[in-house]
Structure 1
Amino acid sequence: MKLPEAVAAYVAYKQSLGMRFATEARTLKSFYRMLGNIDIREVDADRVYAFLAGNGPITAFWHRKLSALRSFYRFAIARGYTTSSPLPLTVPKEPRTFVPYIYSREEMKRLLAATADRERCNLSSLTCRTLLLLLYGTGLRIGEAVGLNLADVDLDSGILCIRESKFYRTRLVPTGPDLTSVLAQYAAERNKWPPLNPDVAFLLTKRGQRLSRAGAEQAFKHLRDRAQVRRDDSARYQPRLHDLRHTYTVTRLVSWYREGADVQRLLPQLATYLGHVHIAATQHYLTMTPELLRQASLRFERYARGGDNHA
Structure 2
Amino acid sequence: MKLADAVARYVEHKQSMGMRFHTERRTLKSFCQWLGETDLAQIEPDPVRAFLAGTGPVTRFWQRKHEVLAGFYRFAVARGYVTNSPLPRTVPKPSQHFVPYIFSLAELKRLLDATESCEHSRGAMTAATCRTLLLLLYGTGLRISEALSLTLADVDLDRAFLVVRESKFYKTRLLPIGPDLQGILSQYLARRPGDRAADSRFIVSRTGTAVSRAAAEGTFCRLRQHANVLRHDDARYQPRLHDIRHTFAVHRLVSWYRAGADVQRLLPHLATYLGHVNIAATQRYLTLTPELLGEASERFERYAMGGHHD
Q: Structure 2: which amino acid aligns with 1:38?
A: T
Residue of structure 1 equivalent to 2:194? 193
- Could you say what secondary structure the match of 2:162 adopts? strand
Query: By how many angstroms is 1:22 displaced?
Result: 1.9
* Whole-Å separation in 1 of the counterparts to 2:271 and 2:95: 26
Deviations 1:111-167 (A, max 9, x none): 111111222211111111111111011110000001111110001111110000000
Deviations 1:63-105 (A, max 9, x none): 1111111011100111122222111111112454311111111
Contact between 1:271 and 1:282, CA under 8 Å: does it hold in 2? yes
Unpaired runs of at least 5, structure 1: none
* Whole-Å separation in 2 of the counterparts to 1:248 and 1:114: 20
Residue of structure 2 equivalent to 1:130? 132
- Summarize the alignment of residues 172-211 of structure 1 with structure 2, pairs less than 5 Å apart: 172-190=174-192, 192-194=193-195, 196-211=196-211
* Whole-Å separation in 2 of the counterparts to 1:13 and 1:111: 44
* Whole-Å separation in 2 of the counterparts to 1:108 and 1:23: 29
Residue of structure 2 equivalent to 1:289? 289
Residue of structure 2 equivalent to 1:116? 116
* Whole-Å separation in 1 of the counterparts to 2:278 and 2:24: 20
Residues paired across the two proteins, number: 308
* Whole-Å separation in 2 of the counterparts to 1:133 and 1:33: 38
- Summarize the alignment of residues 58-77 of structure 1 with structure 2, pairs less than 5 Å apart: 58-77=58-77
Query: By how many angstroms is 1:199 displaced?
Result: 1.1
Q: Structure 2: which amino acid aligns with 1:169?
A: K
Deviations 1:246-287 (A, max 9, x none): 000000001111111111110100000000002101123445
State the TM-score, normalizing by the size of structure 1: 0.95
State the TM-score, normalizing by the size of structure 2: 0.95
Contact between 1:31 and 1:51, CA under 8 Å: does it hold in 2? yes
Deviations 1:197-246 (A, max 9, x none): 21121111123221111111111101111111100001100000000000
2:29 equivalent to 1:46: no
- Could you say what secondary structure the match of 1:14 adopts? helix
Contact between 1:99 and 1:288, CA under 8 Å: does it hold in 2? no
Residue of structure 2 equivalent to 1:154? 156
RMSD: 1.4
* Whole-Å separation in 1 of the counterparts to 2:166 and 2:267: 22
Between 16-25 and 98-107, report the one with greater CA deviation: 16-25
- Could you say what secondary structure the match of 1:241 adopts? coil
- Could you say what secondary structure the match of 2:284 adopts? helix
Q: Structure 1: which amino acid aligns with 2:301?
A: E
Residue of structure 2 equivalent to 1:103? 103
Contact between 2:152 and 2:198, CA under 8 Å: does it hold in 1? yes
Between 264-273 and 102-111, report the one with greater CA deviation: 102-111
- Could you say what secondary structure the match of 1:307 adopts? coil
Change (3 A) 1:35 1:280: same
Contact between 2:249 and 2:286, CA under 8 Å: does it hold in 1? no
Residue of structure 1 equivalent to 2:22? 22
- Could you say what secondary structure the match of 1:161 adopts? strand
Change (3 A) 1:65 1:14: same
- Could you say what secondary structure the match of 1:37 adopts? coil
* Whole-Å separation in 2 of the counterparts to 1:188 and 1:36: 49
- Could you say what secondary structure the match of 2:239 adopts? coil
